[in-house]
Amino acid sequence: MDITPNIRLDEALTATAGVYFDGTILLARVESPYQTIEIYDTHDVGRLMRIDGVNMTSERDEFFYHENLIHPAAIAHPAPKTALIIGGGDGGAAEELLKHPSITHCDLCELDGEVIQLAKQYLQVVHHGVFGDPRLHVSIDDGVRFLQNSTINYDLIYLDLTDPVGESAALYTVDFYSACSAKLTNGGALTIHIGSPFMHPERVNAAIGRLGAVFQHVTPYFGHIPIYGATWGFAVASNLIDIAAIDATTVNTRLASRNVSKRQFYNGETHTAMQALPEYVKTLLAD
C-alpha cells in the first residue's frame, strides 16, 4: 500500500475555477492502460476515487450521485427486470439499482478492470459488496462493442461515464444513443449525467439536443454533487417513460412497496424538486 500524506487535491472545473480537498492521504495509485486511478483518504468525504485527476466518487457523498442517477428512471418504470450499466466500475450505481427487487439481470460493462479492483479493495462503503450479487454480471469491455454484441434487450440503460473526452467521447454521441435506443425494451429508458449547467453550459445544451434527436421524452434534472463542486445535471430519455409524469406520492408509494430502503437523498419530493428548472437553465436548454 502506497501511503503518502498531506496532499492537496485540485480539480479544474473550467480553465480558471475548480474544487479542492486539502490534507489528503494517497492510499493507492494504478497506471492502467487507459488512465491513472487513485484512492485518497480525506478529512471531509472519506475515501475518494479519482481518475486522471478528476473526482469520481467518495464514501461520504456518493449517494448524491448514485441515488439520483439510478432511481428516477427505475421508479418510473413499473417493473424493470433487465438493466445495463456502462461504466460504473466503483459499484455504486449497481448497488442502488439492485435495491429494486424486480431486477433479475444487470450487466455492468466497465472498460478498465483496475477501477473495479481498486473499488473492491478500498470502496466497500460505496458498493456494499454488490459485486457478489448473482444478478450482477460484470464484463471488462468497451461499451460500444459490448452493446453491439449484447443479445439482451434492457428495460434500463445507465451511462455512468467519465467526462466526454478520450475513451468516453464515443459514448456521448447521437449514434451511440441510437444504438442504446435499439437495445431498449418497449417502455425502456436511458439515463446519463450531463455536466454542470453553470460550469459546462455548452455540454449540457449539447447533451439534451443529442438525446432529443433520438428519444421522444427527455427530462433533465439537477442536484448538487459535493465532490464535483457544482450543481450537476442528469437526464432520463425514453420513447414512452416520462419521469415528469410521476408525482411525489406515486414515487413514495413505489419506493415503499419495493422496499427500496437505506436512501439518503432520493424520495418523492426530491424526484419532483430536481426537475424544477431555474430560469437560467430554461434559457440554456431553449437555445
- 112 belongs to the catalytic site: no
| Cell matching residue 27 | 492510499
Q: Please report how many Cα atoms fall inside a 13 Å half-sphere around the Cα of residue 153, on the Cβ side.
A: 7
Strands 82-87 and 154-160: parallel
User: For cell 455540454, what's the residue?
Assistant: 203
Q: How far apart are CA 227 and CA 124, in angstroms?
A: 18
To 5 degrees, how large is the angle CA 96–CA 173–CA 213?
95
Collapsing DSSP to helix, strand or coil, 80 comes out as coil
Collapsing DSSP to helix, strand or coil, 37 comes out as strand
What pLDDT does 6 receive? 77
- Would the pLDDT of 5 be above 90? no
Tell me how far apart the 2 most distant CA atoms of the chain are, in Å. Answer: 52
Helix (H) or strand (E) segment spanning residue 116: helix 113-122
Tell me the CATH number of domain 62-286, given options 3.40.50.2020, 3.40.50.670, 3.40.630.40, 3.40.50.150: 3.40.50.150
Instruction: State the pLDDT confidence band at 30, using cuts at 50, 70 and 90.
Output: very high
- Would the pLDDT of 1 be above 60? no
What pLDDT does 23 receive? 93
pTM confidence score: 0.96
What pLDDT does 167 receive? 86
DSSP assignment string, 253-266: HHHHHTT----SS-
Q: How far apart are CA 78 and CA 57, in angstroms?
A: 29
On the 0-12 / 13-18 / 19+ scale of CB atoms within 10 A, 52 is middle
* Residues shown for the chain: 287
Instruction: State the pLDDT confidence band at 2, using cuts at 50, 70 and 90.
Output: low
Catalytic residue among 142, 160, 175, 247: 160
CA 157 to chain centre: 11
Q: What backbone phi and psi angles, to 5 degrees, belong to 246?
A: -100, 120
User: For cell 449547467, what's the residue?
Assistant: 197
Collapsing DSSP to helix, strand or coil, 133 comes out as coil
To 5 degrees, how large is the angle CA 212–CA 240–CA 219?
45
76-120 residue pLDDT tens:
999 999 999 999 999 999 999 999 999 999 999 999 999 999 999
140-172 residue pLDDT tens:
999 999 999 999 999 999 999 999 988 899 999
Mean pLDDT, rounded, of the chain: 96
Asked whether the beta carbons of 69 and 234 are under 8 A apart, the reply is yes
Domain with CATH 2.30.140.10 in the chain: 4-56
Q: Is 4-56 a domain of CATH 3.20.20.100?
A: no
| Cell matching residue 26 | 494517497
| Cell matching residue 145 | 462493442
The mean pLDDT value for 13-42 works out to: 96
Asked whether the beta carbons of 208 and 194 are under 8 A apart, the reply is yes
183-219 residue pLDDT tens:
999 999 999 999 999 999 999 999 999 999 999 999 9
What pLDDT does 123 receive? 98
Q: How far apart are CA 144 and CA 127, in angstroms?
A: 25
Domain with CATH 3.40.50.150 in the chain: 62-286
- Would the pLDDT of 35 be above 80? yes
